[in-house]
Amino acid sequence: MDLLTNPVKDYDWGSTTELPALLGLPPGRTMAELWLGAHPSGPSTLERGGRTYTLAEVIGADPVGELGAATVDRFGPRLPFLLKLLSASRALSLQVHPSDEQARQGYARRDPHYADASAKPEMVVALTEFSALAGMRQGPQAADLLARLGLPELGPVVAALARGDLTGALDTVLTWPRPARHGLVAAVAAAARGLGGQDFGATARLADQHPDDPAVLAPLLLRRHTLAPGQALYLPAGVLHTYLGGFAVEVMGASDNVLRAGLTGKPVDVPALLAVTDVSAQPEHVVADETGAYRPHCPQFRLHRLTGGTLRLTRALPRILLCTRGAVTAGDSITLHAGQSIFLPARHDSLTVSGEGTAYCAEPGI
């Protein structure tokens, strides 16, 4: 068992409160994500024999010993999941993730949008109230919401939605002529403020944050999901989504394949995003079973949640254990306090985690 030191990502949508508080740091620094894993874009580090190694280096030196034969047979010599803490004070980019096949093909042709040859399914489990937009609304419902704005220039979008052409409607919105974008967003914001309500309120807030981005219409095009602490949302490949705000544990396939279409200062590529967006795909609300395990339909990961009591881990699988509240003890040797985490190699095929705190344990979903 190895204590981990984990990198922080300071994206501009992060918060200055939740992550610093959990890590015992003074507020003020913007912290968006804490990464726990072996992905090359931000690997955790650990100490063995008086030396510091990345988790990727440790795994590379002994894949079967660290990951177990079952994981190596299924995914090769790499940790198949990435665990994160995500703290958002404003919306993330409007984005979608490709399937395994799309990722392999994109990576093989050296498409710059594909940093990895694997998919990035993901699941968030709320630590505070957490808001997301994910999956397209039914066309007539979205058409009605946009029509209520009373903007004639949105007529073609409303018509496309009404006849069920969701892809066409998205394409029209996201490729809106650049000279006309500021005027459109200003008109949308004014109309949305006049209408009120959750969806129009979210649209107005996004317009304040992104005054030249037609993707501010996302709250009227996508379904809203509000998670209470402990509730989980799973997003398979092809689901268009953005997270609006909140603090959550996030676990995903160990991939950085993200195609963006708006609500960001990062590069966007609408045709590439639409090519992998499945307008019929929807996220899944995942309920923990009687053992506290969230088991979405993907092999890359599952997540155990301990909220006091005992968690018994069996099978030779690699795991990352993160404490988010109070303290928990792994085996009879390591006690973790809030913000601390450990890597559990597959050679620890039987382990008990106990305590009155709250902890999350990620492992392959095989």
Given this model, what pLDDT does residue 349 score?
A: 79
Query: pTM value?
Result: 0.95
Same domain, 251 and 108: yes
Q: Is-contact 336 342, C-beta < 8 A?
A: yes
Given this model, what pLDDT does residue 102 score?
A: 96
Task: Answer yes or no: 260 catalytic.
Answer: yes
Tell me the CATH number at 339.
2.60.120.10
Hey, how many other C-beta atoms are within 10 angstroms of the C-beta on 44?
Answer: 28
Q: What angle (nearest 5°) sits at the alpha carbon of residue 269, between those of residues 265 and 271?
A: 155
Residue by residue, DSSP assigns 62-80 as -HHHHH-HHHHHHH-SS--
Instruction: Identify which of 340, 328, 364, 338 has the alpha carbon closest to the alpha carbon of residue 351.
Output: 328
Residues 84-132 have pLDDT tens digits of 999 999 999 999 999 999 999 999 999 998 989 999 999 999 999 999 9
Q: Is-contact 71 346, C-beta < 8 A?
A: yes
Same domain, 231 and 299: no
Structure token digits, residue 1: 């068992």
Given this model, what pLDDT does residue 335 score?
A: 96
Same domain, 39 and 171: no
- The C-alpha atoms of residue 153 and residue 334 are separated, in whole angstroms, by 62
pLDDT bin (cut points 50, 70, 90) of residue 69 is very high
* Number of domains comprising the chain: 3
Q: What angle (nearest 5°) sits at the alpha carbon of residue 228, between those of residues 225 and 233?
A: 45
- The C-alpha atoms of residue 14 and residue 3 are separated, in whole angstroms, by 25
Q: What angle (nearest 5°) sits at the alpha carbon of residue 255, between those of residues 172 and 265?
A: 45
- The C-alpha atoms of residue 214 and residue 274 are separated, in whole angstroms, by 16
Same domain, 353 and 235: no
Same domain, 187 and 104: no
Same domain, 82 and 7: yes
- The C-alpha atoms of residue 213 and residue 216 are separated, in whole angstroms, by 6
Boundaries of domain holding 266: 2-66+75-134+226-286
- 78, 260, 305, 319: the catalytic one is 260
3-state secondary structure 296-353: CCCCCCEEEEEEEEEEEEECCCCEEEEEEECEEEECCCEEEECCCEEEECCCCCEEEE
Same domain, 117 and 203: no
Q: Is-contact 80 253, C-beta < 8 A?
A: yes
Same domain, 97 and 244: yes
Residues 139-196 have pLDDT tens digits of 999 999 999 999 999 999 999 999 999 999 999 999 999 999 999 999 999 999 999 8
